[in-house]
Structure 1
Amino acid sequence: MPSLITPVMPPGSLNASAQPTLTIDDLLVRPWLGSDAAAVARVFQEPMIQYWHLRKADSEDEAREWIEQWRLGWESESACHWAVVNADDDRLLGRVSLQSIIMVGGQAEISYWTAPESRGKGVCSRAVARVSSWALNEAGFNRIELSHSTTNIASCRIAEKTGFALEGTRRRALLHADGWHDMHLHARIGEA
């Protein structure tokens, strides 16, 4: 069946080239490496990471499997996952990703986490701002959504700091280990 619209991002818009490494002052936002598995497994032992996420890593091998899935997202143009690392020593500070990519509409959802020892230093907000800028101004995305539990005040601050306008609340939208959470929906859109 022929389409009535031209895709905002035709197939190959992402995977025709290597996934980029983005720089931000003292940070690198780079593709994941298998050698990041130990750091990912360690971060996912932290109670707050487990609280806001829907799973935990029980081993380095499991974290390595996640990393392989994250890397395959670029190839399939279904997701873009990056490690946020210290530019000097490549120490893992966090993660940022574009998920649920819809190429036809040029849409994705941004998600992120920060290693416990890196919180409160602007790591996450700088990485979210840089990836959003890349997505909207360089990669050709039209709309990036950011969704977080209404009780996650830190995520709401990141959304506000990085220019994601609050569009509304999705009621009982996500089931966490402690029950249903209402979710704020924020978004940034590209220039028309």
Structure 2
Amino acid sequence: MTRLVSTPPVIPSGRLSSSPQPVLNAGNGVLLRPWESADIPVFLAAYQDEEIRRWHTRRPRAEADVQQWFEACRQDWNSERGGHWAIAQADGEVLGRIATRGWDFDDGIAGVAYWVLPQARGAGLATRAVETLSAWALNEAGFQRMYLDHSTRNNASCRVAAKAGYILEGTKRSAAVHDDGRHDMHLHARIRAA
């Protein structure tokens, strides 16, 4: 019997899950840190914000949902499917959420998603968080390509992507369902420097 040979994975299995999920320093007293049980109320309250609801259709309805969500976040790290962080002040105040998911170790590709609470908008926090997570993913974790997509109607996310070095690659037609129907989605990507 002939054994098939394939290219080795870009990231070896076990490389990330063998260590605890890191805390990433985003500067100016802001950290990207794993979610904690104490964050449950603010996470749940975030999904009452109109802008977060407009662009994020998967929403917790009760604290029990958030507990399950946080457990799924821990499982994602342990099974090397993704990483989920609170964007927080050093004193613990949560300002937003950022995640990398859909990890493909064979090709070294992962997606990015985020939201920021109303009181933290307009100061470049989302851009800084995306830049910080991307630098870790590309330079330390070993990913080759990071991508993010957003509704073509979400101009703020388009600006964040561009400022964080994610080049607009195209439009995915009718690619996502939002509360008001199907949306075209912009696809942006950033790759590791050669």
Tell me, yes or no, whether TM beats 0.5.
Answer: yes
What RMSD, in angstroms, separates the aligned Cα atoms of the two structures?
1.1
Letter of the structure 2 residue corresponding to residue 100 of structure 1: G
Aligned: 1:13 with 2:15: yes
Given the alignment of the two structures, is residue 71 of structure 1 paired with residue 68 of structure 2, yes or no?
Answer: no
Query: Relative to structure 1, is the Cα distance of residues 39 and 7 closer, same or farther in structure 2, using a 3 angstrom cutoff?
Result: same
Matched, 1:142 2:144: yes
Structure 1 unmatched ranges of 5 or more: none
Shift of 1:3: 4.2
Shift of residue 35, structure 1, vs aligned partner: 1.6
How far 1:65 moved relative to its partner?
1.3
* Number of residues of Structure 1 aligned to a counterpart in Structure 2: 191
Stretch moving more, 55-64 or 165-174: 55-64
* C-alpha distance in 2 between matches for 1:181 and 1:3: 41
Q: Which runs of 5+ in 2 are unaligned?
A: none
Query: Who is 1:109 aligned against?
Result: 111
Q: Which residue of 1 aligns with 2:62?
A: 59
Distance in 2 (alpha carbons) for counterparts of 1:114 and 1:149: 16
Aligned to 1:35: 38
Kindly provide the CA deviation profile for residues 60-100 of structure 1, in whole angstroms up to 9, marking residues without a partner as x.
2211211111121100100111111011x210101111111
Secondary structure of residue in 2 paired with 1:80: strand
Alignment counterpart, residue 83 of structure 1, candidates 83, 86, 104: 86
Q: Distance in 2 between matches of 1:173 and 1:65?
A: 27
Q: Does the 8 Å contact 1:34/1:68 carry over to 2?
A: no
**TM-score after normalising by structure 2:** 0.95
Consecutive aligned runs of 4 or more in structure 1 exceeding 6 Å deviation: none
Structure 1 residue 57: deviation in Å? 2.0
Tell me the TM-score normalized by structure 1. Answer: 0.96
For 1:140 and 1:96, the matched residues in 2 are separated by: 18
Residues 145-154 or 66-75, more deviating? 66-75
Q: Percent identical across equivalent pairs?
A: 45
Q: Which amino acid aligns with 1:65?
A: Q
Alpha carbons 1:45, 1:56 under 8 Å: kept: no
- 2:130 aligned partner: 128
